[in-house]
Amino acid sequence: MNIVILTGAGISAESGVPTFRGPDGLWEGHRVEDVATPEAFERDPQLVHQFYNGRRAKLLDGTIHPNPAHKALARLAMLRAHRVTLVSQNIDDLHERGGSPAVLHMHGELLKSRCTECESVAVCREDLSRASICGACGGIDCLRPHVVWFGEMPFFLDEIAAAISTADLFVAIGTSGLVYPAAGFVSLARDAGARTLEINLEASAASGVFHESRRGKAGDLVPEWVEEMTR
């Protein structure tokens, strides 16, 4: 079976990474427009660097680990009983740490930087600032987090569309169904004839579009689903 899996911030919540919209409507205390848009970076690069430096430091501080949901998805891919395409909106590296062999990070990766001058992408486990120097071109004040901000084009859209067009099953896990184009993948999958399953803590904006919705914690429900798929 061809399976396309889309994960969102909810799959990393039990690992201790806060989801996007907290109860206060803010992302880690910030309005999204202030830290996750190209305009914000132009206006106040230091604030945007500080925000992502904080997220990166937290991801690396030793308290955050992949949970049973990340590990179960890795198991599903490694068993090779099905062809699995794993697409994540998450910028953390918990799928990789959980053992997933290939992840399409459509919104980029927190542990990478990109040069706005020469476009080179590099591993980045340190803080970034306006004083950072690009290892490829030697430029200064030209590095940014390799993440996709609101208003920017996500990565891998052609690969994702191709995988969805031949999918037998599309599964969305821990995503609110509010951020496009990812929120539209379920409709593309249905149009392509795939069965669609949502696994989420609560009803999402897209729940009505799925053939089936399972409500609960990803850490419980994802291992159960993987077990069903590999029996």
210 binds ligand NAD (CB under 6 A): no
Question: Minimum Å distance from CB 27 to ligand NAD?
Answer: 6
Rg for the chain, CA atoms, rounded: 18
> Which residue among 30, 107, 146, 211 is the active-site one?
107
Its sign, for the CA torsion 133, 138, 140, 145, is: negative
Answer yes or no: is 20 a known binding residue: yes
CB 117, CB 134: distance < 8 Å: yes
Q: Report the residue from 1, 47, 81, 137 that binds Zn ion according to the rule CB under 5 A.
A: 137
Question: Minimum Å distance from CB 90 to ligand NAD?
Answer: 3
Q: Report the residue from 12, 113, 132, 196 that binds ligand NAD according to the rule CB under 6 A.
A: 12
Q: Catalytic site residue 211?
A: no
Give me the DSSP letters along 119-163. Answer: --EEE--S---TT-B-TTT--BS-EEEEEPPTTSPPS-HHHHHHH
115 binds Zn ion (CB under 5 A): yes
Q: Report the residue from 5, 10, 134, 225 that binds ligand NAD according to the rule CB under 6 A.
A: 10
CB 149, CB 42: distance < 8 Å: no
Report the site for ligand NAD in 87-106 (rule: CB under 6 A).
89-92
CB 216, CB 11: distance < 8 Å: no
Give the separation between CA 206 and CA 215, rounded to whole angstroms.
Answer: 13
Which has the closest alpha carbon to 69: 94, 89, 103, 88? 94
> What x/- string results for residues 22 through 61 when contact with Zn ion is judged by CB under 5 A?
----------------------------------------
Answer yes or no: is 52 a known binding residue: yes
Residues in contact with ligand NAD by CB under 6 A are: 8-10, 12-14, 17, 19-21, 89-92, 107, 174-176, 178-179, 200-202, 204, 217-218
